[in-house]
A = this chain, B = another copy of it.
Amino acid sequence: MSRGERMHALVQRLYPLCRSITGDGVRDTLAIVGEHLDLTVHEVPTGTQVLDWTVPQEWNIRDAYIARGGERVVDFQELNLHVVGYSVPVDRVMPLEELRGHLHTLPDQPSLVPYRTSYYAPTWGFCLSQDTLLSMPDGDYEVRIDSTLADGSLTYAEHVVRGQVDDEVLISCHVCHPALANDNMAGVAVAVELARSLENPYYTYRFIFAPGTIGAITWLARNDVDKVKHGLVLACAGDRGSLTYKQSRRGNAEIDRVIAHVLRDRPHEIREFSPYGYDERQYCSPGFNLGVGSLTRTPYAGYPDYHTSGDNPDLVAPESLVDTLEACQEAVAILDRNRTYVNLSPYGEPQLGRRGLYSSLGGRSDAHEAQMAMLWVLNMSDGTNDLLAVADKAKLPFTAVAAAADALHAAGLLKD
């Protein structure tokens, strides 16, 4: 199975689980991820204070439906989006009139079921297509949600790939959305594959699989973020759109420059930070202000099927997953190799030919990429420019610039 097929298969397997910000859906999801990666799973008890928030009660659901004459018209077993997330239990017969106040549809997309939650205000509700609603005659309906909302815990997991230094790169994915494929089982699948591909990296890479908002806040509350040097929030990683990068709040963090370099030769869009979207909202809150950007394909709320039953595994393409993965891998390669050097022979050019680093035949007006890369590294390495800045200024591939730095360092012409 190719990488693309493997990632897509994982999306398909994870898709039907009924995740929320707590509960067994998250645990089941992490158990499957744990088949691929060594995970440390954390359970944080209901009531724990996390920054400005409190870990809520745990929600679990077994069944839910709206039925008429025993026949299910809206059935949780068929699609878990049908229940508003965190719905309190209900078991009643009520006329459609009364039921309407608990029903959510998308009149402009009449065949789609919306995704709705109510984590922090106790209520219940159903999501259904407008088409279904219109087909429901007046009269009484059996309405049942077999859920529990009780003290328990919030669950999240970490996978760490130890690097040569303790400084960390965070890769964070939200795992709280129920039957939505691109958002965000696609992000999870790419993160899993990325984690498996890392071998003896320079940085320590920490993968976080946590429910959105409260999960990221919980992680931030329980950890020392000083060692986090860079990070990416991965979401909507598999649709057929081109890559979109949303910059960190800093706008000029190293990760912002790295991703811009990676995307330079791909169709892409780069957006400035805004305080709406995924968990970059938390990582980039002004107190933390981490160098964490967000990589997606079509961005947050950017496609018609977003947060609807249309976001199913068909929306996710194996080749898109691979493209996202490769962009991440290129970013990792640059982050891990990026250094700032100082030219030890900064007065005039050093004689590269004597060291076997320069073509001996003169007069040719072109220069090989390797030679240009060496000249650029020497000229810019005054302690203020990292290799990525050299590559960007020189309009050369980072790999060529890094190879030049290796050669010059080996020749004793550069120091770290």
Q: A interface vs B, CB < 8 Å?
A: 51-53, 85, 114-121, 123, 213, 216-217, 220-221, 249, 274-276, 281-282, 284-289, 300-301, 306-307, 343, 345-351, 353-354, 360-367, 372, 375-376, 378-382, 394
CB <8 Å contact, A286 and B114: no
CB neighbours of A346 from chain B (8 A) = 285-288
Please tell me which one of the listed residues B275, B351, B354, B360 contacts residue A118 in the complex, with CB atoms under 8 A apart.
B360
Q: How far is the CA of A287 from the CA of B284 in the complex (A)?
A: 38
CB <8 Å contact, B274 and A349: no
Main secondary structure of the interface of A (DSSP, over half): loop
CB neighbours of A306 from chain B (8 A) = 365
A116 and B362 contact, Cβ closer than 8 Å, known pairs A348-B285, A380-B286: yes
CB neighbours of A220 from chain B (8 A) = 347-348
CB <8 Å contact, B362 and A85: yes
Inter-chain pairs besides A51-B347, A116-B362, A287-B343, 9 sampled, C-beta below 8 Å: A116-B361, A116-B363, A120-B354, A213-B349, A275-B376, A282-B349, A286-B380, A287-B348, A301-B366
CB <8 Å contact, A364 and B275: no
Q: How far is the CA of A40 from the CA of B202 in the complex (A)?
A: 56
CB <8 Å contact, B362 and A274: no
A348 → B minimal CB distance (Å):
4
CB neighbours of A382 from chain B (8 A) = 286, 289
CB <8 Å contact, A307 and B249: no
CB <8 Å contact, B363 and A115: yes
A362 and B286 contact, Cβ closer than 8 Å, known pairs A348-B216, A349-B213: no
Q: How far is the CA of A51 from the CA of B345 in the complex (A)?
A: 8
CB neighbours of A115 from chain B (8 A) = 363
A355 → B minimal CB distance (Å):
10
CB <8 Å contact, B379 and A285: yes
Interface centre among A249, A362, A376 (most CB of B within 10 A): A362
